[in-house]
Amino acid sequence: MKPICVDHIGIAVKSIDETLKLWEGVLGIKCTGREEVPDQKVVTAFLPLGDTEIELLEGTSSDSPVTQFLERRGEGLHHIAIRVESIEEAIRELKANGIRLTDEKPRYGAGGARIAFVHPKAANGVLLELSERKR
């Protein structure tokens, strides 16, 4: 597997609008766009900072994984995404090492990235996203 950088850090929030008061208004990290990802029942907002970005996640329905996360744990750090050169290669190598994945095949995330999640139980309690995207 060829990891490139921290692609983004996902933060689960109740309201993107409310959250931007801090991140944009006070911290001065501009939001460059929002996107609904129907597959994951979330709206994401992107706040690029250097080579990485902050990704704010707001659930769009009560059965959204993000809404369920908020009910269980409240707002907070949701996942860390590592950019990889090839998502297929990353999945293959993780499987070969017996690492439990939530996704056995790549799926599409925000920004047209191809992504797969590693199960938190296999990564020290951290939901780890692998992301392949062309920038």
Residues that bind Zn ion (CB under 5 A): 10, 81, 129
Task: Pick between residue 20 and residue 96 the one whose CB is nearest to Zn ion.
Answer: 20
CA distances, 90 to each of 31, 50, 114 (Å)? 29, 24, 12
Q: Do β-strands 52-59 and 3-12 pair in parallel, antiparallel, or remain unpaired? A: parallel
Q: Closest Cα partner for 40 from 17, 16, 71, 67? A: 67
Residue 20 or 45: the one with the smaller Cβ distance to Zn ion is 45
CA 102/CA 111 separation, integer angstroms: 20
Distance of closest approach, residue 117 Cβ to Zn ion, in angstroms: 9
Q: CB of 54: closest distance to Zn ion in angstroms?
A: 10
CB nearer to Zn ion: pick between 20 and 44: 44
- Closest contact distance (angstroms) between CB of 10 and Zn ion is 4
CB of 7 to Zn ion, least distance (A): 8
Least Cβ distance, residue 130 to Zn ion (angstroms): 10
Give the 3-state secondary structure of residue 21: helix
Pick between residue 10 and residue 106 the one whose CB is nearest to Zn ion. 10
Q: Note the Cα 91 to chain centre separation in Å.
A: 16
Our CB check for Zn ion shows the closer of 58 and 129 to be 129
Torsion of CA 108, 111, 112, 115, to 10 degrees: -40
